[in-house]
A and B are shown apart, each in its own frame.
Chain A
């Protein structure tokens, strides 16, 4: 059973429907019991870093996630803002603490040329840096849907795939049992469904 954390921010329904589509049982929940009982956890989100952290705190989700993911080593997939919240610090409207489950900071995408608008919105190519079961079976030129203005800067050893928008940024990171993607796999058709399938069957990676 997969628990999709409902921190009351943005479109969770699409994430749930995507797991249904690939035949994986998933529930949308903010209840501690459900997160404890789940084998894997998904942390989605769209919106501001500040709002995301406030919502996690308000719904008493920070400690339970720390217990299950950092201590308990349950596989976790962070999506978009969910990826960003995993960082140690976010810099949207001033520095603020993130969950700190991974090393790194969340910063604004590099100031674009006049032709590069923000948010980075649309379908972009993802460049895979190394083989990993999370990215197995993707198309020859994997392309995913992005919708963001911030990104996570993390140690190079954690970077699994990049994407180019003005400069290269990390689009997929892996740190032990923690996986995070800047794009929306639930909106990215075949490549997205494949990634979610891979996460659903992913052995814990230590």
Chain B
């Protein structure tokens, strides 16, 4: 199939710094976010996802100033997330130059938001971000508020509901794998990617380019996101795409 698999850096942002996290917990500073965006733009990455980690917990909306700085440095398709709870947040972000928005806790707390947003702006613009980890009973469960609050939702059922509501894509993050650089949760990825009709971007766990190959083949993911690998190892998105191609996977 000529549509290429996408390899998408995720830039996490907190306290005016780029950061990386481990299992949504321990945070490590990773320099200036704008410097990271400039680098990714020079590398001509497939897309970029920019997430403001503190917005929900601080009870505020997006930080438009820093987002504008990011937008001014990027020509690639850009998804912006963090603290989005209203149609007005989304409209403001799209007007300022975001191509898509990513809604996480906001989509869970206000089930009408995704439907209203996709009707107003088009499904193409609406990514629903779904974070999953094992709960106390060892079952996969959707968590919100940066992985602190369980919802009782089973991941595939939840993703399908968001798809029905008009989401254009799912950003699926395996909290238990995130930041450990030991590989993706391929079983979770495949279960969702194969059973929703919209694209699934899988996220959480990449440590070397072969993990991308696994995500594409075993995970069946049409899009692969990663954060820590690009911030803390020598591996770049350019190398990642080259590795995919080496293994016969259609990438840019």
Check: A164 CB closer than 8 A to any chain B CB: yes
Chain A binding surface SS class: mixed
- B76 and A187 within 8 A (CB): yes
- Residues of chain B with a CB closer than 8 A to A12's CB: 95
Choose one: B75, B122, B168; the contact of A14 (CB below 8 Å): B75
**CB of B38 to closest CB in A, whole Å:** 14
- B4 and A14 within 8 A (CB): no
**CB of A8 to closest CB in B, whole Å:** 9
- B197 and A187 within 8 A (CB): no
**CB of A118 to closest CB in B, whole Å:** 7
- A11 and B169 within 8 A (CB): no
Q: Give a binary string over A145-187; 1 marks a CB under 8 Å from any B CB, 0 the rest.
A: 1111100000000000001110000000000000000001011
- B77 and A117 within 8 A (CB): no
Q: How many residues of B contact A (CB 8 A)?
A: 37
Q: Give Cα A47 to B95, complex, Å.
A: 13
Choose one: A112, A123, A184; the contact of B4 (CB below 8 Å): A123
Smallest CB gap from B195: residue in A: A114
Check: B190 CB closer than 8 A to any chain A CB: no
With A18-B75, A114-B194, A117-B198 as known contacts, state yes or no: A122 contacts B46, CB within 8 Å: yes
Check: B44 CB closer than 8 A to any chain A CB: yes
With A47-B121, A148-B124 as known contacts, state yes or no: A122 contacts B6, CB within 8 Å: yes
- Residues of chain A with a CB closer than 8 A to B162's CB: none
| Interface size of A as a range | 35 or more
Q: Give Cα A39 to B115, complex, Å.
A: 40
- B125 and A46 within 8 A (CB): yes
- A147 and B99 within 8 A (CB): yes
- Residues of chain B with a CB closer than 8 A to A17's CB: 72, 75, 97
Smallest CB gap from B201: residue in A: A121
Check: B123 CB closer than 8 A to any chain A CB: yes
Q: Give Cα A11 to B35, complex, Å.
A: 23
Choose one: A115, A147, A189; the contact of B1 (CB below 8 Å): A115
Q: Give a binary string over A29-60; 1 marks a CB under 8 Å from any B CB, 0 the rest.
A: 00000000000000000111001000000000
Can you name 12 extra interface pairs (CB under 8 A) apart from A13-B71, A46-B124, A47-B121?
A: A10-B122, A14-B97, A47-B125, A48-B122, A115-B1, A117-B196, A121-B124, A121-B222, A122-B222, A122-B223, A123-B46, A149-B124
User: Across chains A and B, which 5 residue pairs bring their CB atoms closest together, nearest first?
Assistant: A13-B97, A47-B122, A117-B199, A123-B4, A125-B2
| A→B interface (CB under 8 Å) | 9-14, 17-18, 21, 46-48, 51, 81, 112, 114-125, 143, 145-149, 163-165, 184, 186-187, 189-190
15 example contacts (A-B, Cβ-Cβ < 8 A) are as follows A10-B121, A10-B125, A46-B99, A46-B124, A47-B121, A115-B1, A118-B197, A119-B123, A119-B199, A122-B6, A124-B2, A143-B252, A165-B1, A184-B77, A187-B76
